[in-house]
A and B are shown apart, each in its own frame.
Chain A
Amino acid sequence: MIFGLEFPAIEQLVEWPNAFGDEGVWYGFNKIALINMVALVATSLVFILAARRKTLVDGTLVPRGPRNLIESAVSFIREGIIMETVGADGLRYLPFLTSLFFFILIGNIFEVIPFFHMPANARMAGPAVLALLTWIYFIAVGLKHQGLKYFWNSVAPPGVPKALLPLVIPIELLSTFIVRPFSLAVRLFANMLAGHILLVTFSVLCITLFSATLLALVLPFSFAMLVGLTGFEIMVAFLQAYIFTILAAVYIGSSMHAEH
């Protein structure tokens, strides 16, 4: 209760009941799981449709249909993310980064899609799994490219004076193997949760102001703010997918070569 405004409890905003099964069973299926499944199936379907060999329709190499969209998206990830951060060596990790980008983007964009209005990444489980996956991935890339020396190279960058090593090793150990996955997960989760709460706040405000009193005069401003924030949240959904992918690319790139 703030100024006569009935704000719902946080559990009501982010916790969804299972469609079948009791709470806490492993096969429970709720809205978040549905959104994640849609993100998975939609991404796979669009990519499979685009990959069908239909380019040589009338003897030209002009792409048609969903292939246009997918080609521009893949070239955005290749030119805008991998070439800018890792370089040509990183192109072999394009499939991982592309699937990461699209899974996060579609999970986020459900924040503004009617009847869903819930970003899948506003629950910690999704971002945590994605961050853990990225963590395993960049350690595996480091082991593949540098062997077991990767761990030593990443905690003690070459060129650091010997006297500084006792100070550098704990800091680097903490920042590379603990802070990286933690901040990846928390960044995505907190951004989406904050956006969700923001939209809920203005929706509640609009519903409260929708009355036959003088307060209804404020309603247009509140509603305009809600529409504006919806646009802003579409941008945030895109930006967070972009930032997660670009950070994954930077981490993978940094474990390919010893820092110097």
Chain B
Amino acid sequence: MSILAQVTYEATSKAESQAIAAAGQAGIAYGLATLGPGIGIGYLVGQSVQAMARQPEAAGMVRTTMFLGIAFTEALALIGFVVFILLKFV
């Protein structure tokens, strides 16, 4: 009886440790995925603000292109978020 209890206890603790490891990996995956897009979007918006300040009449065009660039840059961070969800919950 005690051996059975021991075995089930070890089984649950193994599943639990796997879940903990998956959660840790999910956190690391998402954390790494934010780095590049964070720098990228910061640089992109900074340059766009500079462009708009230098040439206010081109602000509309710059803004549209800025949103496009943000959408492309952000995609990597969002894929990182999806990987996080997949590792953590699936």
Contacts and interface: CB of A to CB of B under 8 A. Distances in A.
Nearest to A79: B60
A30 interface: no
A186 B60 contact: no
B64 A10 contact: no
Contacts of A85: 64, 68
Nearest to B61: A84
Chain B: interface secondary structure?
A: helix
Interface residues of B, number: 16
A86 B86 CA distance: 37
B85 interface: yes
Contacts of B67: 239, 242-243, 246
A187 B85 contact: no
B82 interface: yes
B71 interface: yes
A250 interface: yes
Given A10-B85, A246-B67, A246-B68, A186 B61 contact: no
B83 to A, nearest CB: 10
Interface in A48-96: 80-81, 84-85
Contacts of A186: 75, 78-79, 82
Interface stretch (A98-106, A107-115, A129-137, A188-196): A188-196
A247 interface: yes
Nearest to B74: A187
Interface string B2-29: 0000000000000000000000000000
Nearest to A10: B89
Contacts of A247: 68, 71
A186 B85 CA distance: 12
A189 B79 CA distance: 10
Contacts of B85: 10, 193
Contacts of A243: 67-68, 70-71
A211 interface: no
Given A10-B89, A187-B71, A193-B85, A84 B64 contact: yes
Ordered nearest first, which 5 A-B pairs have the shortest CB separation? A190-B78, A84-B64, A10-B89, A243-B71, A183-B75
8 contacts: A9-B89, A10-B89, A186-B75, A187-B71, A190-B79, A194-B78, A243-B71, A246-B71
Interface of A: 9-10, 80-81, 84-85, 183, 186-187, 189-191, 193-194, 239, 242-243, 246-247, 250
